Amino acid sequence: MPQSAAERIEQLRTLINRHNYLYYVLDRPEIEDAEYDRLYRELVKLEEAHPELITSDSPTQRVGDQPLREFQTVQHPVRMYSLDNIFDEGELVAWEKRIERILGTETIEYVAELKIDGLAVSLIYENGHFVRGATRGNGVMGEDITKNLKTIRSIPLKIPVNGSQVAVPKRLEVRGEVFMPKEAFIRLNEERALRGEPEFANPRNAGAGSVRQLDPRVTASRRLDAIFYGATVLEEDLAQPVRLKTHWETLEYLATLGFKINPGREYCKGLDEVMRFVRYWDSERRNLDFATDGAVIKVNSIAAQNELGYTAKSPRWAAAYKYTPEVQETRVLEIEFSVGRTGVITPVAIMEPVFISGSTVQRATLHNFEELAKKDVRVGDTVRVQKAAEIIPEVIEVVLEKRPPSADKSVEPPTSCPVCQGEVRQLPGEVALRCMNRHSCPAQVLKRLEHWVSKGAMDIDGVGPALLEQLVNKGLVESPADLYRLTVADFLSLERMAQKSAENAYNAIQSSKTRPLFRLINALGIRHVGQETAILLASTFGHLDKLVEAPLETLTNLEGIGAKVAESIVTFFADPGNQQLVADLKALGLQLEETSEGRPAASSNLFEGKTFVLTGTLPTLSRQEASDLIRAHGGKISGSVSKKTDFVLVGEEPGSKYVKAQQLGVKILGESDLLAMISEAEQ
Ligand code: IVH
């Protein structure tokens, strides 16, 4: 008998959940990404054909729902306490003494776990289905962040994940910590810096900020993870009672259900073993992909935990052993005012090199002038420095006793640009000071040129910061357009430049004229427009002129473009200097149109008069390639779904365009459908 759609959907969900688990929880994938994508697409298609079969815990529902206006406040079924801190081994011994007194025994078993520096969450599962997730809030009431938590792939939407036979209570509360892995944090900050957006101070803030987004699609883009350490049965399944007797058993139970548990955990027979754990991880934790600020020591027996109970704020059966971040003293040699690509002036402390938490540090950003005034760091001061979350060098404070008499004045914010002496202003709603001399401040000019040639932008190989600096200092280049006016002779006029290198640099610049449109848009350095947005704009408008003319309303209506970004685009092109740049680029022969780089142009009229909308990540084609392909066959690309849309091309993690397409009954295609249509037409 042929399988029904409902059966196949169920089967696909089980398979996808299992592979999700292998990939995101165990980090041990068993199938190729392409195979996973195939299963995922099959499910998306079936659900599209049978919308009545879509359930909220289908793996397709992780993509990020519609934005919320505000979070609902919810009450926790069991209060979420915090932990008392312990700062050294002496305090740990004292803590144990109190426990021994209350329990009347000296043989106590513990579990030690790493303390994850993230955001505490409580998840509720009803009959195995994830129904609600909340922040800790004040411990009694938290915020409902269910939709955001669903986007975190390691959080199971249905338990047990792996088809295991383990019993699941009717209602179960699970607790853990959501965090942003260090690598994701570093990448996010790089992307934000590129867009001229403020960077997050540490992974904790980045994680908390991401999980408390009103728009779940933003959360979905942030690569969060979660580790769990607690389970409370709220309602038993009398037929299959779950009785957890120890904390260690709880952790193992969570693991069998499919939750990620702490990689740093140990069952400890006594305090000596606890201390060994604490000492071991104090240095080893630097190699982990998440930030930890200590270890949590818990009494293993749940009966003993109940006997110990709680103080007003925290359990008596657990404590946090806080690691002291490595702090070093060093001297401030200089406070540099660094001018960024968008003119923001940042004070940076330049210090005598000092080795902290695994690397040498000699620069630390002081973020902005408010922060500088608060810390009152002066040249010649001795400062205490640490790495925030083991990553970012940070001046904690000045050691006032060591302040030399020469450091008699606070550092004043600049009244003019330190590089070009141009006007400095604080824009409304911003903390930052900015040099307003956008077009000719050498610092901004140089940073803009560096951005222009960079990998994600025009990707001009062999033209690096040092060469650009020479060109700017010689007065040969001011705007990116000037790069294209340079002759081989110009390069030869620079110091230590041989004929061959001059020709190479010249050729590299000239051959970048035909870069795809998204690179050009990214290269322009519009505030808040990074590579992803540039790709979207290029595929939507197809020509730079169209983007230049786009009214605010059109931009705001594009999915993935918020009001702030839209405004920044319009402001950018309203600036006469930028208009001149676009005109110059055009006159110099740069390609302003989206073309099918590397693909034959206009190969058929298969999609003549048809409009496509793209959403999500396709398994093999980039957005650019798919758009090129559609255009090459006569089709048009649009940014938003309407009744006029003919096809929506859906990839993994599609956005709300997918939902809208379903609502409007627009035909949905996967990459393979598109390729099949084309290859049929080509035969
Ligand atoms: S057990 C009664 N285990 O630390 C609280 N907490 O300062 C029992 N945290 O809000 C918490 N890692 O979010 C526990 N392995 C771990 C933890 C952990 C991080 C957080 C937790 C709590 C905070 C308390």
pLDDT 10s digits, 226-278:
999 999 999 999 999 999 999 999 999 999 999 999 999 999 999 999 999 99
d(CA 66, ligand 1 centre) in Å = 31
d(CA 80, ligand 1 centre) in Å = 9
Cβ 116 under 6 angstroms from ligand 1: yes
Cβ 229 under 6 angstroms from ligand 1: yes
Mean pLDDT of 400-424: 94
Measuring CA to CA, how many Å separate 626 from each of 52, 227, 622, 623, 654?
30, 37, 6, 5, 15
pLDDT tens profile 126-141 = 999 999 999 998 889 9
643 flagged as catalytic: no
Cβ 115 under 6 angstroms from ligand 1: yes
State residue 599's pLDDT score.
33
Ligand 1 atom at minimum distance from 115 CA: 12
Mean pLDDT of 387-398: 81
Q: What are the strands, taking DSSP E only, across 269-311?
A: 292-299
Q: Positive or negative CA dihedral for 551, 552, 554, 559?
A: positive
State residue 358's pLDDT score.
66
3-state secondary structure of 534: helix
Cβ 265 under 6 angstroms from ligand 1: no
Q: What's the CA gap between 371 and 18, in Å, rounded? A: 48
Cβ 83 under 6 angstroms from ligand 1: yes
Mean pLDDT of 152-175: 92
**Which residue among the candidates 115, 147, 260, 298 is catalytic per the annotation?**
115
Cβ 105 under 6 angstroms from ligand 1: no
Picking from 562, 661, 556, 567, the residue whose alpha carbon sits closest to that of residue 616 is 661
Lowest mean pLDDT among 44-58, 144-158, 211-225, 527-541: 527-541
DSSP 8-class letter at 607:
T
pLDDT tens profile 304-354 = 999 999 988 899 999 999 988 788 999 999 999 999 888 999 999 999 988
d(CA 462, ligand 1 centre) in Å = 50
Cβ 204 under 6 angstroms from ligand 1: no
pLDDT tens profile 626-683 = 887 887 787 888 878 888 888 999 887 777 888 888 888 888 888 878 887 877 666 5
Ligand 1 atom at minimum distance from 177 CA: 13
Mean pLDDT of 407-425: 94
What residue owns the CA closest to ligand 1's atom 9? Answer: 115
d(CA 318, ligand 1 centre) in Å = 9
Mean pLDDT of the chain: 89
Picking from 517, 511, 99, the residue whose alpha carbon sits closest to that of residue 317 is 99
State residue 84's pLDDT score.
92
d(CA 139, ligand 1 centre) in Å = 12
